[in-house]
Structure 1
C-alpha cells in the first residue's frame, strides 16, 4: 500500500499541515478465488430407453456403452442471483431425428422455440412436473414457442420417434454460472469472491451430483475427479 502525502494549507493560520492519505495502488486487485475439477461419465446402461407413445414405451437398445453426452456443471451461490433470461427465444431444433442440443440450460421465464428442421413430422412433448406441454404434429419448417417459468428438469420426447430425448435444465434462482463440457474434460470457475458455493453436475441419464465448496482468497479449490453413474 503506497502512502501519498497531501499538503493542505490553512491560510487562516498561515501554516501547512501534512496529512497522510492511504490510497490503494492501481496495481492492487481484489482478492478472488476459483473452483476447478474434472467430470467423468461411467459407461451407460442403455438396455432400455423411453420415448414414443404419449406416455412413453420401452424400446430395446444396444446395452452398456461409453457415453459422449454433454455434462452440465452449475455453480450455485448461497443467495438468489439477479439475472434475466435472453430476450430472443432459444432454439431446440429437431434435425436428423435428434434434438439439438439434447441438453439445454436456461433461466426461468426463458422462451424456447421448438422447430422441426426434418422433412418428416415430429410431435414434441413433455409430461414433466416442471413443465407439461405438447407442440402437436409439426411438419418441416414449423415451430412453436414455449415459456418455462418453473425451475427444474424437463424431459422432452417425440411421440413419433422413440429414440429422441432431450433435457431442458431450468436453472434455480441461486444459479450463478454454468458450463457444458464433455466426459473427461475439466471445468473452471474464476474470479469468485471468498465464500460458500454449491456445484451441481448433471448429464442425461445419469444421477445428478451436488457438493459444497469453500472458496478462499487467491486460492484455487480443486474438487478432483467427479464420476457420474447411470
Structure 2
C-alpha cells in the first residue's frame, strides 16, 4: 500500500516538551475483532501542530488509504496510478476542493487548513470514497489492521478522542493517565456495516 509518512502516525512536535511516553490503544468492534482506520488523538490548547506533506493514492479505482489523519496546515497530493482519469472532489465544510479529470500527479497539492472531517469522492466513479480527519494537534495515530495504535504523549492526565467514519454514534472522550509504563488500553467501537464499494465499470 503506497502510503506516505504521517498518514497513520502522530508526532510529538510541541516545542518545549522534552519528554513523551508511548501510549498504546487497541480498538475492537462489538464482536471483539480488531478495527482498522480508527483515529486516536489528544487535543490541548498548548499543543500546536505542524503541517506535513502526505499522499492519498488512487489505485484500482479506490482511494488508498481509506482513512487519513493529518494536522492542520498539511498538504496532500492525490496521485492517480490508474490508467484512466479520475475527478477528485470534496464538498465538506472543513475543505471544499475539486481536481478535475486528470492522470498522473496534479502539479499542486491540496492544503488542509481547517480542522474537521473531509469526505473524498470521485465524480466519475461513484463508489470511490475516503476520509481525511484534519486535527488541531500533533498527538494522533491511526489503528492498523490489528486494531493497534501507538501515540507519543506528554505524561499526565489526558482526554483521548476516537473517531472512525463508520461509528454508529460519536464516542465520549476517554480519560487516561499517561505514564512511562501505562498498560495498553482496549476500546470498543460500534461500527455500521460498510456499504459495498465494488466497481461497476
Q: Is the 8 A contact 1:32 1:219 kept in 2?
A: no
* TM alignment of 1:157-196, pairs within 5 A: 157-172=121-136, 175-182=137-144, 185-189=147-151, 192-195=154-157
Runs of 4+ in structure 1 displaced over 6 angstroms? 30-33
Shift, 1:151, TM fit:
0.4
* TM alignment of 1:8-47, pairs within 5 A: 35-41=23-29
**SS in structure 1 opposite 2:143?**
strand
Query: Which structure dedicates a bigger proportion of its chain to strand?
Result: 1
C-alpha distance 67-167 of structure 1, shift in aligned 2 (>3 A)? farther
Shift, 1:225, TM fit:
3.1
Does residue 70 (structure 1) correspond to residue 31 (structure 2)? The answer is no
Q: How far apart, CA to CA, are the structure 2 residues paired with 1:185 and 1:39? A: 5
Q: How far apart, CA to CA, are the structure 2 residues paired with 1:183 and 1:135? A: 30
Q: Is the 8 A contact 1:36 1:186 kept in 2?
A: yes
Unaligned runs of 5+ in 1: 1-29, 44-65
Two-structure CA RMSD over aligned residues (Å): 2.9
Cross-structure match for 2:196: none
The structure having more radius of gyration, on CA atoms, is 1
Q: How far apart, CA to CA, are the structure 1 residues paired with 2:66 and 2:96? A: 18
Q: Is the 8 A contact 2:95 2:114 kept in 1?
A: yes
With the length of structure 2 as denominator, give the TM-score of the two structures: 0.71
Unaligned runs of 5+ in 2: 1-17, 193-201
With the length of structure 1 as denominator, give the TM-score of the two structures: 0.63
